Structures are given as C-alpha cells and as structure tokens.
Amino acid sequence: MAFWEEKTLEQMSTAEWEALCDGCGRCCLIKLEDEDTGTLITSDVRCQLLDGDTCACTDYPNRQTKVPDCIKLTIDNVREIPWIPVTCAYRRMAEGKGLAWWHPLVSGDPNTVVDVGVSVKGRTFLETEVDPETWEEHAVDWPEYEPPEVL
C-alpha cells in the first residue's frame, strides 16, 4: 500500500510530505484581494521564483527569505488557508479525498498534471515583468478548474 493511502498528513515524514506536491504551481500564483468584499482573486501572474515552464521553484530552500510573503504549507496551516486550490494534494488529503487519479504519485507520470489542465505550465506571466497597476487585468478563473474524477 502506498504511503499516502495508509498515513494521515500528520504521520508523514518530511520526504513524504514534500512528495505530495503535484508540481502544478497554482499556489505560486499571485492572489489579489478585493478591498471592498475581501474576495480573493487568482491571477495568471506567478511568483518571481516560479519557473513558468517547469512549475518548480527556482530557489526552494531559500524561498521564504527571498519572497517574505511566501507561505510554506504545513500540517498546522494546510486546513486553514482559503486559497489552496481544490486540486491540491494537501487539501485533498486533509479533506479525506485522497490523491486524484492524475496526481503523478498515482499516475506514475509527472506530465499527467499538465495533460489534464491542472498545471500552470506555459500559462503565466512573471511577477517582475508585470506592472502591479495592471494585475487586475490578469485575474483568471482557470486555476479553479478541477478535472473529472475519472476520464
């Protein structure tokens, strides 16, 4: 039996916890907050450290130093952060849903997350290349897309 099928998030080792990330890059998209309603809006603008082609952090060990508002997902906050995508393995596990069929640990293919449209690969703009005054023009709803449970 696979570790994610027999352990809770609390029981996982650091390596197992890190392996849960499907590499979609959705959590590294800049979120905007509507000042009037408090509604969070996801943009297609990515963090300065996210590689738009690989969806990997270019300096993962130092990300919180280089990007002070980078939030490290932990067992303590994963159930509390409202913007965690519905497709996120950490959220799915916390909600008792298990990993989706397209998750690389299940499918055995790291490209499945791209194939089903969950990944942000090739669909974003680098934070340092976008004028903050135009971020509202970058509001998108596709990061909320959730593929069907079974194809």
**DSSP assignment string, 39-72:** -EEEEEEEPTTB-TTT--BTTGGGHHHHSTTPPP
- Low-confidence stretches of the chain (pLDDT < 70) are 150-151
Structure confidence at residue 64 (pLDDT): 94
Structure confidence at residue 18 (pLDDT): 95
Structure confidence at residue 146 (pLDDT): 85
Provide the 3-class DSSP secondary structure of residue 87: coil
Beta strand pairing status for 40-46 and 29-33?
antiparallel
Provide the 3-class DSSP secondary structure of residue 137: helix
Structure confidence at residue 145 (pLDDT): 86
Structure confidence at residue 83 (pLDDT): 87
d(CA 94, CA 74): 11
Structure confidence at residue 151 (pLDDT): 55
What are the start-end ranges of the H helices in 1-151?
3-6, 14-19, 63-66, 89-94, 104-107, 112-115
d(CA 21, CA 36): 33
DSSP category for residue 73: P
CA dihedral 110, 114, 117, 119 (to 10 degrees): 90
SS3 content of the chain, % helix, strand, coil (to 5): 35, 10, 55
